[in-house]
């Protein structure tokens, strides 16, 4: 099975890749300073089979294997432990079946200017009528641990109105141990 990892050079990129390779995934690294949208466009163009899509700031555990064995939907959103929230959330790990690819290729251009292109893509009508998008309720990894660009992350969360959901001080104290 192929795992596509998107990276802008996160400190955890190599660890993310290793965490997937040790579980038998063939990893394709999409690493550049281009937007997430551009990386997704390239992944959707390149893939022709089911695949796992992972942010490079996620260190995956063995539950990603279970995620790839689910069969009721076309797109599964994995759960992660969000380091800066100090809580569980959905994001950073998706299992996408090849049945999604025609709709993804058709609509990816619509998401070019969006801050969260993948969220937009997962909400396409094709995946919800009937429902073909589901959440996976097992933790598939740690999201955000070891990131060095905290200022950018905080600015992004502020811009999205999510800042109150995060415990920056606790995460900093733990990292300082």
The mean pLDDT of 36-64, rounded to a whole number, is 97
Domains parsed from the chain with CATH numbers: 2-147 (3.90.550.10)
pTM as predicted: 0.91
Contact 40, 62 (CB under 8 A): no
pLDDT in tens, 134-160: 999 999 999 988 877 777 777 877 787
Contact 8, 37 (CB under 8 A): no
Q: Is the pLDDT of residue 170 over 90?
A: no
């Amino acid at each position: 099975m192929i795992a596509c990892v998107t990276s802008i050079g996160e400190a955890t990129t190599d660890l993310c890749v290793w965490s997937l390779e040790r579980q038998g995934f063939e990893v394709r690294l999409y690493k550049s300073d281009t937007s997430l949208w551009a990386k997704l466009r390239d992944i959707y163009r390149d893939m022709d089979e089911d695949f796992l899509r992972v942010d490079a700031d996620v260190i995956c555990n063995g539950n990603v294997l279970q995620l790839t064995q689910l069969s009721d939907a076309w797109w599964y959103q994995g759960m992660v432990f969000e380091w800066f929230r100090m809580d569980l959330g959905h994001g950073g790990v998706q299992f996408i079946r090849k049945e999604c690819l025609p709709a993804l290729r058709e609509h990816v251009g619509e998401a070019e200017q969006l801050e969260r292109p993948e969220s937009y893509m997962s909400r396409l009508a094709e995946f919800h009528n009937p429902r073909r998008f589901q959440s996976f309720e097992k933790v598939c990894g740690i999201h955000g641990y070891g990131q060095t660009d905290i200022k950018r992350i905080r600015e992004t969360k502020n811009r999205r109105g999510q800042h109150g959901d995060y415990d920056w001080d606790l995460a900093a104290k733990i990292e300082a141990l």
